[in-house]
Amino acid sequence: MATSQTAILALSDGTTATGTAIGAIGTTGGELCFNTSMTGYQEIFTDPSYHGQLMMMTYPHIGNYGVSQRDNEASRPMVAGVIVRSYSTEYSNTMADGSLDQWLKDHGIVGITGLDTRRFVRHIREKGVMNAVISSEETDRDKLIQKAKDWPSMAGLELASSVSRDEITTHGPDDGLRIAAFDYGMKQNIINKLVEQGFHVTVFPSRTPFDEVLKSDPDGYFFSNGPGDPNPMDFAMDAVGKAIDTGKPIFGICLGHQVMALQQGIPVEKMYVGHRGANHPVKNMITGRVEITTQNHGFSITQDGVDPDIADVTHINLNDKTVEGLDFKKFNGFCVQYHPEASPGPHDSAYLFEEFRRRVEHAAKSEAAAVS
């Protein structure tokens, strides 16, 4: 390692461990979560849905293929800190722009390596999600444990506004069907997938007044992924309601899925342990097929929380039976909890973007026929 400075991980339940500092020197904290993906650490670290969380990777070797600008899901890292088993300061990928080590330092991300991450994954699975602190400057464990206890819970926190873009941006062909996308922490690859469908995508900051959105004359609406608790997001639920009133097709992913559900009176609750990884089996209840999916969420809808008069449950998580997809009955909208745009993968669920395209095209043709 380039540094031999000691770092400490302290959990709010009093559990601690000593490792070696990586990234920037300092102290950081947040909700401790883990991701089971075997590749894609850069996409994970830059995913806005992880804002305010400590990311523990279950795959042991992290950093061995460096970092590349093209793999960013946002312009900067979004995780609060990084925890790994075996950290590589060198990389062997000739397509990389640089090392993960320098990238973390450049962006001020504090981390720790040399821990038995399997132990901490089992601990969280047994005890439930909790906050933690990483420090490479404070050596008093009692102080760090107290700091972890005092760290704000993700429950009740509205974080989407803090990661949303500041300005309206446009993407894709000017002559494409027009999509208005609400950015609650929107990943770059979602934009890429919408553009691949031929859409002209206008991405709006999270709190953009709906009258301003209407000026783009959209053919459909998209509600994005993002961090935090959806329950305090009244502004987002208001936008969903106004989008429904237009009669245009609506598609939501992850946080967007939760906001659409809440707007229709379907409860969303904090999970005991969230879903984060690239190997989650989801059953499509329409086709009967099982999709391997990428997921990143700490809140969910339970099966018994869905009123069958409001929506059909289209997808179910085979691990814990939580709801992974809804198709609404009172308006032309559908949503999924997982990430069909997954980068680097898997891509089993990419058809959902084609479904959105089909719905938007059909609605636009129907509207044109009615006008003529």
Q: Are residues 176 and 320 in the same domain?
A: yes
**Cα 364 to Cα 314: distance, rounded to the nearest angstrom:** 24
The total of structural domains in the chain comes to 2
Q: Is 355 a known active-site residue?
A: no
Domain at 276, CATH number: 3.40.50.880
Domain hosting residue 252, numbered range:
160-371
Is 1 domain-assigned? no
Of the residues 150, 176, 206, the one at which a domain ends: 150
Q: Are residues 195 and 53 in the same domain?
A: no
Q: Are residues 191 and 146 in the same domain?
A: no
CB 57, CB 324: distance < 8 Å? no
CB 96, CB 67: distance < 8 Å? yes
Of the residues 103, 131, 150, the one at which a domain ends: 150
Q: Is 341 a known active-site residue?
A: yes
Is 202 domain-assigned? yes
Q: For each of the chain's 372 residues, which pLDDT tens digit applies?
A: 445 899 999 999 999 999 999 999 999 999 999 999 999 999 999 999 999 999 999 999 999 999 999 999 999 999 999 999 999 999 999 999 999 999 999 999 999 999 999 999 999 999 999 999 999 999 999 999 999 999 999 989 999 999 999 999 999 999 999 999 999 999 999 999 999 999 999 999 999 999 999 999 999 999 999 999 999 999 999 999 999 999 999 999 999 999 999 999 999 999 999 999 999 999 999 999 999 999 999 999 988 999 999 999 999 999 999 999 999 999 999 999 999 999 888 899 999 999 999 999 999 999 888 887
Catalytic residue selected from 51, 200, 257, 339 = 339
Q: Are residues 48 and 13 in the same domain?
A: yes
Catalytic residue selected from 43, 73, 158, 341 = 341
Q: Are residues 340 and 296 in the same domain?
A: yes
What is the model's pLDDT at position 345?
84
What is the model's pLDDT at position 14?
97
Indicate the Cα dihedral angle 190, 269, 334, 351, nearest 10°. Answer: 50
**Cα 10 to Cα 50: distance, rounded to the nearest angstrom:** 19
**Cα 69 to Cα 79: distance, rounded to the nearest angstrom:** 17
Is 58 domain-assigned? yes
What is the model's pLDDT at position 4?
83
CB 58, CB 278: distance < 8 Å? no
Q: Is 158 a known active-site residue?
A: no
Of the residues 123, 150, 177, the one at which a domain ends: 150
Is 353 domain-assigned? yes
Catalytic residue selected from 33, 73, 254, 280 = 254
Q: Are residues 251 and 178 in the same domain?
A: yes
- pLDDT for 76-109, tens place per residue? 999 999 999 999 999 999 999 999 999 999 999 9
Q: Are residues 97 and 176 in the same domain?
A: no
What is the model's pLDDT at position 287?
96
Q: Are residues 145 and 164 in the same domain?
A: no
Q: Are residues 165 and 308 in the same domain?
A: yes
Q: Are residues 143 and 174 in the same domain?
A: no
CB 20, CB 263: distance < 8 Å? no
Is 263 domain-assigned? yes
**Cα 170 to Cα 168: distance, rounded to the nearest angstrom:** 7
**Cα 86 to Cα 83: distance, rounded to the nearest angstrom:** 9
Q: Are residues 136 and 210 in the same domain?
A: no
Q: Are residues 233 and 128 in the same domain?
A: no
